[in-house]
A and B are shown apart, each in its own frame.
Chain A
């Protein structure tokens, strides 16, 4: 698959409309690489003018800042901002809510001002504009899907509607968990928990959340965050339900439904 980099396009004197910020999980995590590919396929199919940074992209610094390492966060942020400003980037789309939050809310204070969109909102726009066409009889028609709110989209940035509208476009049977939207339960990986073992307790947070998701009877747990993806996938495996219950990102669902 041809994925344009910003360096190539700039060399050709072109400047794409939007930068696709892939993120570390999207670049390295085997499971989330499939989400990156799905989203890139959609971008290619729709004909969005985009590019990625490729090897010029670095961690936004989100986990460092949340673990308390402000120096490391700001080192990362400043060097990323130098790259982004160097290319004159104006608009960024990313499939990671943590990258999204950091780029959108925390880079402006350090000199990085961009229009930042999460891929859930980007997909919703493409659907609304009719650029993604979903047939009424797509693979997910009538299927029970539950959406797990990512804290960094939901409470952190008040994005509750866009991911749900994407799922509604699938003509699926969207069922909500008991704790959803503003009271959605965290998957357990935010705040740099992804990178350490949980503190001592009675239960793992992702198990608690997975039980809630399974209780809806959904056959697909839709997620929109790489950390949620890992936690919910592990949770479903722990409950030995991986044969009947899929954990999928919004981009994967759209790519599948449109036959990409």
Chain B
């Protein structure tokens, strides 16, 4: 009984802290501007189904895709077992589903164990890729100590959690022999390998190890769930909404600014009669996170810092400061900073800092060739280019702070209707230029 009460308190406690984090993240994303969602809903669901759920874009790189798929399937299916853990914990039962499922239970447990081993091995491979093989994209400039530790923590926690399941099942199998309280599960293939480690222990110690592994696993999962909300690992949830809200237009399309359209139309004297006067335009482009769209901010929480974007960015590849991954990481960091500050009654957005300037520099955004390699590379359809362009808009339209040669290009377009300094009357000389 005491165990059940303790379990209920732990469950409620973690649920409370997780709910509080979710609410903070939600408020953070809501700092952004609401933008109308256009295009077909079925196309959006198709993206969720194929790209988030089906991991289609992961398979551009086969080795990590297969390892990642094992962890992903393991995550989805092992979570079914967590349901049983919670019922057992609250009701004081042991293997609640076993009597209902009969022999299927044994099959399911073996499947879970197979996945646990697959997850464990994949995580080991991933640790090797990061820390021994040192794949360059995991070591670029923005991968400072916290992001590197975050990645390693996730992998190590997953390994330990899987070991706990196998330990639990191994000791459980030994206890089944003598004690009818331990529901017979039939032989469990993978955890049987661990039986030799435990078979000489006394029954009391076995019970202790089994219970310890059980508690360790479930509390570990709850703790991990809370950790995930602070970590890059949040992509396991955010990838789904992110693919739903991702842009459907061709990648070359840049979002229109209707506020500007209204002003340009009235400047050209072609405003529609009876058109409502343009609303107060606010800030042109983006200086801080509240100038970006909610979709941009949500994307920052969907980023798992895999760095595929940066590893294909032509600017980054040739040593420029721009890294599309850093754009997303900075955006998230700034949202976290502002929303935490607001939650604790601080200055929030008016803390004297801004996304552009304090996090992202002009040198970074000026290096972008808008080639869409980052957008194409992202397995969950994040669009760093969208943010870069909004920042550029702010620099030009609010600060007139573009590089001098861009300002000359603007001037040429204004006066000569071409980005170079040629007379518009010479535009049709090309047919005469040939002999």
Binding site for B on A (CB under 8 A): 1-3, 5, 22, 24, 26-29, 33, 36-37, 40, 52, 54-55, 57-59, 61, 63-72, 74-76, 78-79, 82, 101, 104-106, 109-110, 151-152, 155-158, 182-183, 185-186, 188-205, 208-209
Q: Evaluate whether A64 and B264 lie within 8 angstroms (CB atoms) in the complex, with A27-B427, A202-B318 already known.
A: no
Q: Which residues of B contact A24 (CB under 8 A)?
A: 418-420
9 further interface pairs, Cβ-Cβ under 8 Å (given A192-B406, A199-B322): A3-B428, A36-B430, A65-B254, A68-B394, A75-B264, A106-B254, A183-B377, A199-B320, A203-B318
Q: Whole-angstrom distance from the CB of A137 to the nearest CB of chain B?
A: 27
Q: Whole-angstrom distance from the CB of B278 to the nearest CB of chain A?
A: 13
Q: Evaluate whether A191 and B371 lie within 8 angstroms (CB atoms) in the complex, with A71-B397, A158-B250 already known.
A: yes
Which of B363, B397, B430 has the largest count of A CB atoms less than 10 A from its CB?
A: B430
Complex interface bits, B418-435 against A, C-beta within 8 A gives 1, otherwise 0:
111010111111110110
Q: Are B256 and A22 in contact (CB under 8 A)?
A: no
Is B414 part of the binding interface, using a Cβ–Cβ cutoff of 8 Å?
Answer: yes
Instruction: Tell me the bound Cα distance from A71 to B284 in angstroms.
Output: 10
Q: Are B369 and A74 in contact (CB under 8 A)?
A: no
User: Residue on A with the closest CB to B253?
Assistant: A105
Instruction: Tell me the bound Cα distance from A188 to B29 in angstroms.
Output: 33
Instruction: Tell me the bound Cα distance from A196 to B417 in angstroms.
Output: 18
Is B20 part of the binding interface, using a Cβ–Cβ cutoff of 8 Å?
Answer: no
A-B contact pairs, 14 of them (CB 8 A): A3-B431, A27-B427, A54-B428, A68-B397, A70-B396, A71-B264, A75-B268, A155-B375, A182-B376, A188-B318, A196-B405, A199-B322, A200-B320, A205-B317
Q: Evaluate whether A186 and B314 lie within 8 angstroms (CB atoms) in the complex, with A65-B254, A72-B413 already known.
A: yes
Instruction: Tell me the bound Cα distance from A46 to B250 in angstroms.
Output: 31
Q: Whole-angstrom distance from the CB of B266 to the nearest CB of chain A?
A: 11
Complex interface bits, B362-377 against A, C-beta within 8 A gives 1, otherwise 0:
0100111111110111
User: Residue on A with the closest CB to B257?
Assistant: A70
Residue in contact with B265 in the complex, picked from A52, A78, A202, CB distance below 8 Å:
A78
Q: Are B396 and A68 in contact (CB under 8 A)?
A: yes
Q: Evaluate whether A76 and B413 lie within 8 angstroms (CB atoms) in the complex, with A27-B427, A40-B431, A198-B320 already known.
A: yes
Is B285 part of the binding interface, using a Cβ–Cβ cutoff of 8 Å?
Answer: yes
Q: Are A188 and B372 in contact (CB under 8 A)?
A: no
Is B345 part of the binding interface, using a Cβ–Cβ cutoff of 8 Å?
Answer: no
Q: Which residues of A contact B417 (CB under 8 A)?
A: 58-59, 76
Instruction: Tell me the bound Cα distance from A64 to B393 in angstroms.
Output: 10
Q: Are B430 and A22 in contact (CB under 8 A)?
A: yes
Q: Are B268 and A52 in contact (CB under 8 A)?
A: no
Complex interface bits, B233-269 against A, C-beta within 8 A gives 1, otherwise 0:
0000000000000000111111011001101110110
Q: Are B252 and A105 in contact (CB under 8 A)?
A: yes
Interface size on B, residues (CB 8 A): 72
Residue in contact with A28 in the complex, picked from B394, B409, B422, CB distance below 8 Å:
B422
A-B pair count, CB < 8 Å, reads 218
**B101-150 at interface with A (beta carbon < 8 Å):** none
Residue in contact with A61 in the complex, picked from B251, B317, B403, B413, CB distance below 8 Å:
B413
Q: Which residues of B contact A189 (CB under 8 A)?
A: 369
Q: Whole-angstrom distance from the CB of A243 to the nearest CB of chain B?
A: 24
Instruction: Tell me the bound Cα distance from A196 to B410 in angstroms.
Output: 12
Q: Are B396 and A67 in contact (CB under 8 A)?
A: yes
Q: Are A156 and B413 in contact (CB under 8 A)?
A: no
Q: Are A79 and B268 in contact (CB under 8 A)?
A: yes
Q: Which residues of A contact B429 (CB under 8 A)?
A: 27
**B297-349 at interface with A (beta carbon < 8 Å):** 312, 314-315, 317-322
Q: Which residues of A contact B177 (CB under 8 A)?
A: none
Q: Evaluate whether A37 and B371 lie within 8 angstroms (CB atoms) in the complex, with A67-B402, A71-B264 already known.
A: no
Q: Which residues of A contact B402 (CB under 8 A)?
A: 67-69
Instruction: Tell me the bound Cα distance from A129 to B143 in angstroms.
Output: 54
Which of A2, A3, A76, A109 has the largest count of B CB atoms less than 10 A from its CB?
A: A109
Instruction: Tell me the bound Cα distance from A200 to B251 in angstroms.
Output: 27
Instruction: Tell me the bound Cα distance from A155 to B377 in angstroms.
Output: 10
Q: Are A55 and B424 in contact (CB under 8 A)?
A: yes
Instruction: Tell me the bound Cα distance from A193 to B254 in angstroms.
Output: 17
Residue in contact with B428 in the complex, picked from A27, A200, A201, CB distance below 8 Å:
A27
Q: Which residues of A contact B434 (CB under 8 A)?
A: 1, 37
Is B91 part of the binding interface, using a Cβ–Cβ cutoff of 8 Å?
Answer: no
Is B270 part of the binding interface, using a Cβ–Cβ cutoff of 8 Å?
Answer: yes
Q: Are B373 and A67 in contact (CB under 8 A)?
A: no
Q: Evaluate whether A183 and B369 lie within 8 angstroms (CB atoms) in the complex, with A59-B417, A70-B260, A196-B405 already known.
A: no
Q: Whole-angstrom distance from the CB of B147 to the nearest CB of chain A?
A: 23
Is B389 part of the binding interface, using a Cβ–Cβ cutoff of 8 Å?
Answer: yes
Q: Evaluate whether A59 and B419 lie within 8 angstroms (CB atoms) in the complex, with A68-B392, A156-B372 already known.
A: yes
Q: Are A28 and B418 in contact (CB under 8 A)?
A: yes
Q: Are A199 and B252 in contact (CB under 8 A)?
A: no
